[in-house]
Amino acid sequence: MRNRWPVVFSITALIVAVLGATPVGEAALNALPRASVGPLQLKANAVTSVKVKNGSLLRADFRAGQIPAGPAGPAGPAGAQGAPGTSGLQTVFTTSAINSTATRTLTATCPSGKTALGGGVAVTPTTASEVAITASYLANSTTWTASAQEVNAQIANWGLNVVVICALVAP
């Protein structure tokens, strides 16, 4: 029997070596399913930097702010000079006479050298419910024009307030 022990040990070692390199052996080594061990199963400080393979972690493995920003890059070249913008913003109001004229047209004009950017109109008083604004538009580059008329003959007096918004605009 003494002569058989070396043979028994040799055969056992051979079986372990063969099974370790086969799918059966791999199954025995990987008894835990992938990703089955997480923070609940690990003790505090169980995973240290010594136990993590260098280069195996990705940016997604870290919380925001844990990875320091890299050094600032060099300044880029200066951009081209932008076009001049608008300046000298001004609003010009024109008010018509307040009476019971059935229709009226009124304009508001920008001062010399300024360009109209927009405008508008309002009926006054605001209780003149039987008056309809029939037009409100940019007549040319410096003038806003508006028109209104009575829908039904008014006993009350009414008027128009026209505004144009002007500015110096670079060519």
Q: Is the pLDDT of residue 51 over 60?
A: yes
Dist. CA 161–CA 131, nearest whole Å = 13
Q: Give mean pLDDT, residues 63-90.
A: 90
Q: What is the pLDDT of residue 45?
A: 81
Q: Give mean pLDDT, residues 53-59.
A: 84
Q: Which two tokens stand for residue 163?
A: 């505004």
Q: Which of 149, 23, 163 is closest to 90 using CA atoms? A: 163
Q: Which two tokens stand for residue 4?
A: 């058989």
Q: Is the pLDDT of residue 29 over 80?
A: no
Q: For residue 160, what are the CA distances in angstroms to 13, 57, 140?
A: 107, 72, 20
Q: What is the pLDDT of residue 47?
A: 79
Q: Is the pLDDT of residue 23 over 80?
A: no
pLDDT digits (tens, 9 = 90+) for 94-125: 999 999 888 999 999 999 999 999 999 999 98
Residue whose tokens read 């195996």: 56
Dist. CA 127–CA 109, nearest whole Å = 27
Q: Give mean pLDDT, residues 149-157.
A: 82
Q: Which residue type, as a one-letter code, is found at position 40?
A: L
Q: What is the pLDDT of residue 164?
A: 97
